[in-house]
Chain A
Amino acid sequence: MIKGIIIVNNSGKPRLVKFYQNVFGEEKQQSVIRRVFQQVSTRPDSFCNYLEGSVPEWGEKCKLIYRHYATLYFVFAVDAQESDLGILDLIQVFVEALDKRFENVCELDLIFHSDKVHHILDEIVMGGMVLETNINAILQAISDQERMHKDSMKTKGPNESVDLISTKLGAGRNW
């Protein structure tokens, strides 16, 4: 399974942290993030995208699979069950989904819309299992959700009416 996903920028600031195998306690979580960043950041891009057995909180057989995009490292911590190259492609799918959703995703998007980023990730990985890899399906789920959502899209003019309608529909369906 996937034990956790960490996005961290070039200076070590976390941008997204998700633990599937629970690491409880702020301190431990921070130490995981630090450790991951330390190890990943010292590796030139010419090295391979794998790192093994180096995060005690995740146990001995943990492997870090990461990709470095411009200012961000996308790090997936996995166990032996996951495919080495498959996860690399999965990271790519994740990034592509982000890019499509945010139209040229940048680091700030991940912070300002960290909830949305999480939602996208939730469509890809669930409870440490790969849920969906089809980028269209992922984006569809997100846009469905957003179409139903009422407030947040208001600033985008054309969508406003749709939002309102779907909100009402959604509310009607609810109770």
Chain B
Amino acid sequence: MSGMHLSREFFELIKAIGESKSKQEEDRIIAREVVTLKKKLETGGAGGGGGLSMIPGSPVPSMGGNAGNQNGLNTNKKKAREFLVRVLYVEMLGHDGSFGYIKAVELAASQSITHKRTGYLLCSCCLSPDHEFRFMLVNQMQRDLISSNLLESCGALLAVTSLITPDLVGTVSTQVMGLLEHSAETVRKKAIIALHRLYQLNPDIVTKEEVVEKVRRMLCDRDPAVMGATLNVIEALARCDVAPFKDLVPSLVSILKQICERRLPSEYDYHRIPAPWMQMKIIRILSVVGKNDSQASEGMYEILREALRKAEEAGINASNAIVYECIRCITMIYPNAVLLDSAGASISRFLSSRSQNLRYLGIIGLASIVEKHPKYAADHQLAVIECLEDKDETLLRKTLDLLYRMTNPVNVEFITDRLLHFLRGSTDPYLKSDLTSKICTISERFAPNNAWYVSTITELFKIAGDLVDPDVATNLMSLIAEGTGNEDDDEEADMVLRKQSVELYVSLLASPPNRMSRVLVETLAWVLGEYGYLSSAMSLDAIIDSMCKLLHSGNNARLGGGATSTRRLVLSAIMKMVAQFGSCPQCAAKIIDDYTLSEDPDAQRRCLEFQAIITTAPQLLSEVFPVDASLEDVEVDVNMNFLDGIVSVAAANGARPYSKPDDDDDDDDYLSSQTATGSAFKMTPYEKPTERAYGQGAMAGLGSSSMGPSATTAGVALPPGQAPGVNSPTSALQQPQQTTSPGQPQLTIRNSGANVWGKKPTAQAAPPAPPVAASPSVNSFSSPSPAPPRPTYGGFGAQVQSTSSAPPPAKTAEQLEKERMAAALFGGIGASAPPPPVPPSQPVSTPQPRATVPQQQPLSVQSQAPQPTTSFAPAAPQPPAAPAPEIDLLGFDSSGVSEPAAISSSVDMLAPTPLIDEPTMNGSLSVPPVPAAEPEPPKVEAPAPPDDPFAAAGLLDGFGDSSLPTLSTTEALDSAKFEYSGSPIAPFTITTPQFGERWGSCPSTHSVTIASSTNVNSLSKFVSLCVRAGLHKVEEIAATNEGIAACMAGGGSSIALVHGKVSPLSGDASRLDITVKSSDANLGSQLAMYMQNMCR
């Protein structure tokens, strides 16, 4: 029926616009249309004229006037309406249709409801907020609000929400409130929303108390539709202030209960779901009310469980929306273990869904749950990795947010890398600043070592220096200066760090200066100025040369954003290096010479002073610029005793003696006022952190002379220790220590961060692996006696010849890459759960992360036990190649075992989705089947040799003799390496007997059981995994499917021994029992964690 009563003209217009090729052409067409419309307004204005006169003037149009025009108006009105529709269209395309507004105002007074609303519509869409026509419409709205025709009231209420401005609220508020009592539900529901709008516009006239009171009453309206609309208003109000609605919990719960029980008329169903929007709204309100309120939360647990269960049953889009709101609510309110588990199950269903929307919501849900309950993250490794590789940026962003929230000390490198990578390619300013602060936060909290922190932050400076908080640079510099800040003062390590930093920044000298952010240039200047002499890549004079070039090019280009302070810093760095170098290279001399003429008085002063020193007393240079003294406390002689001589001479000459202020406390005041007034004189650069660091540093002497205005008295060189202006440097020096010095806190914070994830490595070292017994193949290992069972190992050695086990199913490079990513990403999460003692020969699987809190998960524990025994008890010795059905099952099983998920999810992408509903639910609650294979960690001790004779030889041996299954790239190989304390471990080349000897003496034991791994499902894969990680393959015992490997870390100071047993299950999964013994509990636990992650 389109356009039946609309003119051909309009149709042609739209057609022409639709076919127009360019904006210009469109503009021409519209311009023509505007001319036509204006003409119409003039010619057809007869009817309009009557209307016009009535609007500003008489409040009520006389019937006579209308009746008089009746005949002409009918056709006119119809045309008038089309006229308005066309004006609306013109406006929508961005052109001025203001000539037609008057017609709209006129039409709003029409008796026909459609015309009236069209008139209101055009006004509300087009009138600017201060347009005078708004005032003209108030009268009309007032009349319509109290009209006996409910449709007119509705039209007026709608107009109120868009046409009333804050100063007009008073004109209609009474009428709107009156309509809350209207007999028709359609009016009441509009009135409550209009009232809320008025409150938003002007809370002085429609007060909060009024709105809250009305809203509470409307919630109990006899008509559900009114209640539904009211819920929206309640949520909006509760988000601003929850207090007035706290006591509504029982009412809301009971409403939700009734909806769930289908007490509402079926017309409120949507796709057979009872009133889904109302359910959503109520749940959202509950989440706001229940936040941080355990009492309120308790009242809603039951109904949430019920709503979630019912919604899960339905499994369609509308019910998923309810499920999602339940998840959000459960994670927001005071936590309840059972509900959290249900939410976790729903999240995993979302994540494994084929629907991109559900995956998106799953990621959000996971992010909301993972911060407080990290154990749920480990279940979804592969899903997260896949989202991370998704092309959909929305999903990607959410995933990055999730990563940020699940960062821990183990995966921080991987996550930071990802965030940096994404930051590099991003153009959205919001996203960039968000990512930047996230990277700063996590790298500061979880940095594995200082070198990593320095390089990461430097990289960040490179990519998005403009967005970095200046404090970060301060922290970075104080870290380089102070090192770890540990008591034991490992000066050597600090020097290594400094050297690394210097080399890093030396390498940056080559980058184009105008591309470098200010913070990068300033940090670079400080680092090289302080420690440039440490560089072995570049000689000091070459660095000076480069810095001069930098400064020179920066003169013209906008060095570091063109800030003068940046140039000053580079200048000072050059001076410091000149002092270190011992002589002034030509280029530096020239630069300094140039800057004595600088417009910047600060730079000029520095250069003049420097020239004075170097020409008159070059021997002072090293005192003025002491090497590596940025941390040395500059002693401030508050009393300025060094002036005593001058004073006494002056006094002798008759000068008036200085009278001390009577208040002793003034000392302090004096100091602070000194800085305060000083800052009034000082210019901006001294507020910059870099400047402070610089001031505190080697430049102290010279810095003091130019820093404090008082220092001018000293002329050239005050003794560094006695400069009066030094106050600010000292305070600056203390500041980084008080605040977050990344060096020291990093350690402490790391620990606290670790705690978030449950007991971390240290704690993990605690639970000793249970003494294992009754394993046929491991009898000889079973006694935990410290006696080294050398013969046993010898025995194994004898069996070794046939190392050929079942050839591992080839894996694609992509899969490997994903698994590697998952391991990197989820490192530390799974590890948060030290595998509890596993009774041997019992099929109770211990999904690592979940097992930590078994009491919270009765469901999972219950369901997992019987299943495996029945279905998987007959463990096939040989892993079949392509077990399709299991893959689906395991793939959806998201609890703990990631490896099956790896394969299944890659299968998923191609295959049609396996049943999402049921299996998923089951899978996420239960735990993968585990056969009756027993962990058999040989509990034997051997002393860790501090001086290992094989240490040197081990470096190369590790790689050579191992069979590496399809490895994608060397990168993958490299990055798969296990790192301890920031450096890769070295293979420890020993023989089986030696292995046996050391086994017993290693004090720490970490056992890991992977209930079902398809990733590492054969002995050879396990061994190659070890080799890939950087261990030395000691022996591969095909007969018993056992492998042993060894490594050392810290240059041989600690060793770790790995024993693994592979028990093939049916399908191509295998159970893995890995025992890591180490002379260093930390190394052991991290390696165990790593192995676990790589195998899952």
Q: Are A108 and B113 in contact (CB under 8 A)?
A: no
Q: Are B276 and A60 in contact (CB under 8 A)?
A: no
List 27 A-B residue pairs with CB atoms under 8 Å apart, sorted by A's residue number.
Answer: A11-B18, A14-B93, A20-B162, A24-B128, A27-B94, A46-B356, A46-B392, A51-B394, A86-B321, A89-B276, A89-B277, A108-B2, A108-B11, A113-B85, A115-B118, A127-B162, A127-B197, A129-B236, A132-B225, A133-B228, A141-B186, A149-B113, A150-B112, A151-B114, A151-B115, A155-B4, A167-B112
Q: Are A151 and B74 in contact (CB under 8 A)?
A: yes
Which residues of A lie under 8 Å from residue B60 when comparing CB positions?
175
The 5 A-B pairs with the shortest beta carbon distances in the complex, nearest first, are: A85-B321, A127-B161, A149-B114, A48-B356, A30-B94
Which residues of A lie under 8 Å from residue B121 when comparing CB positions?
115, 118-119
Q: Are A127 and B194 in contact (CB under 8 A)?
A: yes
List residues of B (392-412) whose CB comes within 8 Å of A's CBs.
Answer: 392, 394-395, 397-398
Q: Are B225 and A18 in contact (CB under 8 A)?
A: no
Which residues of B lie under 8 Å from residue A18 when comparing CB positions?
125
Closest to B364 in A: A84
* Chain A proximity of B64: nearest CB distance (Å): 12
Q: Are A114 and B112 in contact (CB under 8 A)?
A: no
What does the 1/0 interface line of B305-338 toward A look like (CB < 8 Å)?
0000000000001101100110000000000000
Which residues of A lie under 8 Å from residue B398 when comparing CB positions?
52
Is A50 in contact with chain B by the CB < 8 A criterion? yes
Which residues of B lie under 8 Å from residue A106 when comparing CB positions?
2
* Chain A proximity of B666: nearest CB distance (Å): 49
Is A49 in contact with chain B by the CB < 8 A criterion? yes
Q: Are B113 and A148 in contact (CB under 8 A)?
A: yes
* Chain A proximity of B160: nearest CB distance (Å): 8
Given contacts A48-B392, A103-B1, A129-B233, contact A86 B276 (CB under 8 A): yes
Q: Are A145 and B360 in contact (CB under 8 A)?
A: no
Given contacts A22-B129, A48-B395, A111-B89, contact A89 B113 (CB under 8 A): no
Given contacts A85-B324, A132-B225, contact A112 B3 (CB under 8 A): yes
Q: Are B162 and A119 in contact (CB under 8 A)?
A: no
List residues of A (104-123) whose CB comes within 8 Å of B's CBs.
Answer: 106, 108-109, 111-115, 118-119, 122
Is B804 in contact with chain A by the CB < 8 A criterion? no
Is A137 in contact with chain B by the CB < 8 A criterion? yes
Q: Quick one: which of A85, A134, A171 contacts B320, CB cutoff 8 A? A: A85
Is A54 in contact with chain B by the CB < 8 A criterion? yes
Which residues of B lie under 8 Å from residue A88 when comparing CB positions?
317, 321, 357
What does the 1/0 interface line of A2-13 toward B look like (CB < 8 Å)?
000000000101
Among the stretches B146-154, B834-842, B908-916, the one at the interface with A is B146-154
* Chain A proximity of B314: nearest CB distance (Å): 13
With the chains together, A83 CA to B322 CA distance in Å?
A: 9
Which residues of B lie under 8 Å from residue A85 when comparing CB positions?
317-318, 320-321, 324, 357, 361
> Given A50-B394, A137-B225, 12 more contacts at CB 8 Å?
A20-B162, A26-B95, A48-B395, A49-B357, A85-B318, A108-B11, A114-B89, A129-B193, A130-B277, A141-B154, A150-B112, A170-B112
Q: Are A53 and B113 in contact (CB under 8 A)?
A: no
Q: Are A83 and B280 in contact (CB under 8 A)?
A: yes
Q: Are B112 and A151 in contact (CB under 8 A)?
A: yes
Q: Are B239 and A81 in contact (CB under 8 A)?
A: yes
List residues of B (112-147) whose CB comes within 8 Å of A's CBs.
Answer: 112-115, 117-118, 121, 125, 128-129, 147
Q: Are A131 and B360 in contact (CB under 8 A)?
A: no
Given contacts A48-B394, A102-B2, A119-B117, contact A108 B239 (CB under 8 A): no
Is B77 in contact with chain A by the CB < 8 A criterion? yes
Given contacts A83-B284, A85-B361, A129-B232, contact A52 B193 (CB under 8 A): no
Q: Are A81 and B317 in contact (CB under 8 A)?
A: no
Which residues of B lie under 8 Å from residue A171 when comparing CB positions?
111
What does the 1/0 interface line of B154-171 toward A look like (CB < 8 Å)?
100110011000000000
Is B359 in contact with chain A by the CB < 8 A criterion? yes
Is A126 in contact with chain B by the CB < 8 A criterion? yes
Q: Quick one: which of B1, B114, B229, B430 contacts A60, CB cutoff 8 A? A: B430
* Chain A proximity of B42: nearest CB distance (Å): 22
Is B14 in contact with chain A by the CB < 8 A criterion? yes
Q: Quick one: which of B85, B94, B152 contacts A112, CB cutoff 8 A? A: B85
Q: Quick one: which of A25, A54, A137 contacts B428, CB cutoff 8 A? A: A54
* Chain B proximity of A169: nearest CB distance (Å): 9
* Chain A proximity of B778: nearest CB distance (Å): 50
Closest to B150 in A: A144
Which residues of A lie under 8 Å from residue B111 when comparing CB positions?
170-171, 174
Q: Are B149 and A170 in contact (CB under 8 A)?
A: yes
Closest to A111 in B: B14
Q: Are B392 and A146 in contact (CB under 8 A)?
A: no
Given contacts A47-B394, A144-B151, A148-B151, contact A83 B324 (CB under 8 A): yes
With the chains together, A168 CA to B427 CA distance in Å?
A: 61
Q: Are A152 and B149 in contact (CB under 8 A)?
A: no
Q: Are B94 and A131 in contact (CB under 8 A)?
A: no
Which residues of A lie under 8 Å from residue B77 when comparing CB positions?
151
Is A95 in contact with chain B by the CB < 8 A criterion? no
With the chains together, A43 CA to B276 CA distance in Å?
A: 28
With the chains together, A18 CA to B280 CA distance in Å?
A: 24
With the chains together, A173 CA to B144 CA distance in Å?
A: 12
Closest to B363 in A: A48
With the chains together, A127 CA to B284 CA distance in Å?
A: 20
Which residues of A lie under 8 Å from residue B3 when comparing CB positions?
108, 112
* Chain A proximity of B140: nearest CB distance (Å): 12
Is A1 in contact with chain B by the CB < 8 A criterion? yes
Which residues of A lie under 8 Å from residue B158 when comparing CB positions?
122, 126
Q: Are A131 and B190 in contact (CB under 8 A)?
A: yes
With the chains together, A174 CA to B361 CA distance in Å?
A: 50
Which residues of A lie under 8 Å from residue B157 when comparing CB positions?
126
Which residues of A lie under 8 Å from residue B1 when comparing CB positions?
102-103, 156
Closest to B325 in A: A83
Is B422 in contact with chain A by the CB < 8 A criterion? no
Closest to B194 in A: A127
Is A72 in contact with chain B by the CB < 8 A criterion? no
Q: Are B196 and A113 in contact (CB under 8 A)?
A: no
Q: Quick one: which of A50, A54, A175 contacts B357, CB cutoff 8 A? A: A50
With the chains together, A154 CA to B10 CA distance in Å?
A: 19
Q: Quick one: which of B84, B161, B280, B394 contacts A126, CB cutoff 8 A? A: B161
Which residues of A lie under 8 Å from residue B91 when comparing CB positions?
26
Is B6 in contact with chain A by the CB < 8 A criterion? yes
Closest to A130 in B: B232
Q: Are B5 and A155 in contact (CB under 8 A)?
A: yes
Which residues of B lie under 8 Å from residue A14 when comparing CB positions?
92-93
With the chains together, A22 CA to B128 CA distance in Å?
A: 10
Q: Are B2 and A126 in contact (CB under 8 A)?
A: no
Q: Are B318 and A89 in contact (CB under 8 A)?
A: yes
* Chain B proximity of A134: nearest CB distance (Å): 6
Q: Are A126 and B190 in contact (CB under 8 A)?
A: yes
Is B96 in contact with chain A by the CB < 8 A criterion? yes
Closest to A42 in B: B393
* Chain B proximity of A15: nearest CB distance (Å): 8
Is A162 in contact with chain B by the CB < 8 A criterion? no
Is A41 in contact with chain B by the CB < 8 A criterion? no
* Chain B proximity of A155: nearest CB distance (Å): 5
Which residues of A lie under 8 Å from residue B93 when comparing CB positions?
13-14
Which residues of A lie under 8 Å from residue B229 when comparing CB positions?
129-132
Q: Are A127 and B196 in contact (CB under 8 A)?
A: yes
Closest to A61 in B: B430
With the chains together, A46 CA to B395 CA distance in Å?
A: 12
